Amino acid sequence: MTNNTITDFAKFVGPIKTIDIHGKPYVTVPERLRAFHNLYHNGRIETELIHGEGGHYIMKTTVTPDVENPDRYFTGFAHEDESKSQINRTSAIENCETSATGRALGLLGLGSESSIASAEEVQNAIHQQGSQSKHLSSIKEESK
């Protein structure tokens, strides 16, 4: 694959589902995974929990497109905080692993025409910003 456009990408793996966020198409992690498995039959995806204490998790994912060429690999990192969303209260580790995997696959070039961030990662960031804005607004109201 010589070009990283979603159209060229789809020629190799079939139609690519994207989510439009603020006018930009973002590819989901499951779509990136599907593409990886279709394109890199001799590849490997490894995840590692780097930190998991106090409700904070850091995950590392290493994607190797060809296990016979282990010097060519792509890594993605992610951080999640259990206190930042209702979903993270029960699934912070899973969200962290998904984000790290999506980033590593994006760095490989899968579904990253408009961004390394996956659709899920962008949606989470928007949610976090909204929660932070609400928190700051309530602090301002309390101080009046």
pLDDT tens profile 92-127: 999 999 999 999 999 998 887 666 766 677 677 777
Report the range out of 67-71, 105-109, 135-139 with the highest average pLDDT: 67-71
Residue type, 27: V
The residue extents of the domains of the chain are 6-137
Is the pLDDT reported for residue 4 higher than 80?
Answer: no
- Exposure b/e, 27-61, CB count within 10 A at least 16 = b: bbbebbbbbbeebbeeeebebeeeeeeeeebbbbb
Output 106 or 135, whichever has higher pLDDT: 106
Query: What integer pLDDT is reported at residue 128 of this predicted model?
Result: 66
Query: What integer pLDDT is reported at residue 138 of this predicted model?
Result: 46
Mean pLDDT across the stretch 69-75? 97
Query: What integer pLDDT is reported at residue 136 of this predicted model?
Result: 41
Mean pLDDT across the stretch 17-33? 83
